[in-house]
């Protein structure tokens, strides 16, 4: 089962709304002081999505990630398919630059770093003369995370809430993505404590560890030390060619838990 592990010094506002008990706020403050000096080490190797590999900072293969400063600059990226492209700007991108130089066939996966804004972004689009009509839709997916003694794990290949496709308005060659509320961040299927424990245990090959012990304290997906947050946002681009042929293209934004 795929999962991610983060030791995060700070989180987006929606995540802080989850961590609103005095105990957990104190716990996050301790995490912040422990991780301020830890930086991810980036190598030149990359996988098929163009994401930099980050070497482990300890024997548990945990990576500390820093949130952007309030005045963090944005990086403009070009998302290219044949006959269609769009540009957008983000505070932090994990993919390599070479990945965005490619013309992709049907799917682009963008790995976002910690950002203060993951929705309500403005995109500029461009088509060539072979495209007659463009429609763009957006949905989102949430995942469950578990807070252990330090890092947070996210169950990326377990249960999810998947929102309905929402059509976005295109005007003057650009569009704005939908924005999400705190309630959207907390949508998740009904699961029991035992189901969460078994899912976390399966992630680690049946072993019992700090995350399994934490999962046993959860009253449900929204009961600390468990929580839910948006983990993926997808744009579906429907292109209609002048010949009448329609094709779908997808842009998937992988979102660090907490944004």
pLDDT digits (tens, 9 = 90+) for 213-236: 999 999 999 988 999 999 999 999
CA 132 – CA 121 distance, rounded (Å) = 25
In a domain, 248, yes or no: yes
CA 122 – CA 117 distance, rounded (Å) = 11
In a domain, 230, yes or no: yes
Number of domains in the chain: 1
Instruction: Answer yes or no: pTM beyond 0.75.
Output: no
- How is the beta sheet containing 75-81 ordered, strand by strand? 75-81, 84-90, 122-127, 174-176, 170-171
Residues 56 and 62 sit within 8 Å (Cβ to Cβ): yes
> Which residue is associated with the tokens 């509320």?
181
Mean pLDDT of 176-191: 92
Residues 110 and 128 sit within 8 Å (Cβ to Cβ): no
In a domain, 242, yes or no: yes
Q: For residue 67, give the nearest of 121, 126, 105, 113 by alpha carbon.
A: 113
CA 26 – CA 236 distance, rounded (Å) = 41
In a domain, 188, yes or no: yes
Q: pLDDT band at 170, cuts 50/70/90? A: very high
pLDDT score, position 14:
41
In a domain, 23, yes or no: yes
For residue 95, what are the domain limits?
A: 3-254
In a domain, 7, yes or no: yes
In a domain, 259, yes or no: no
In a domain, 54, yes or no: yes
3-state secondary structure of 26: helix
CA 159 – CA 203 distance, rounded (Å) = 13
pLDDT digits (tens, 9 = 90+) for 93-131: 999 889 999 999 999 999 998 776 677 889 999 999 999
3-state secondary structure of 202: helix
């Amino acid at each position: 089962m795929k999962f991610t592990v983060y030791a995060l010094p700070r989180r987006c506002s929606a995540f802080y709304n989850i961590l609103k008990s005095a105990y957990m706020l104190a716990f996050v403050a301790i995490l912040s002081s422990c991780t301020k000096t830890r930086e991810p080490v980036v190598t030149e190797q990359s996988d098929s999505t163009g994401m930099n590999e980050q070497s482990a900072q300890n024997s548990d293969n945990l990576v500390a990630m820093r949130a952007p400063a309030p005045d963090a600059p944005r990086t403009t990226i070009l998302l290219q398919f044949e006959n269609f492209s769009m540009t957008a700007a983000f505070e932090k991108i994990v993919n390599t630059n070479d990945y965005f130089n490619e013309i992709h066939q049907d799917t682009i996966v963008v790995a976002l770093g910690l950002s203060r804004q993951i929705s309500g972004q403005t995109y500029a689009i461009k088509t060539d003369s072979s495209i007659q009509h463009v429609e763009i839709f957006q949905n989102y997916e949430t995942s469950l995370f578990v807070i252990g003694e330090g890092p947070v794990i996210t169950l990326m290949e377990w249960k999810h809430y998947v929102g309905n496709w929402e059509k976005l308005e295109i005007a003057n060659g650009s569009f704005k993505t939908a924005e999400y509320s705190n309630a959207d961040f907390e949508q998740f299927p009904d699961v029991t404590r035992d189901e969460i424990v078994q899912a976390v245990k399966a992630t680690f090959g049946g072993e019992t560890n700090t995350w399994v012990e934490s999962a046993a304290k959860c009253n449900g997906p929204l009961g600390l030390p468990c929580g839910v947050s948006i983990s993926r946002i997808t744009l579906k681009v429907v292109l209609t060619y002048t010949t009448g042929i329609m094709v779908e293209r997808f842009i998937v934004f992988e979102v660090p838990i907490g944004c």
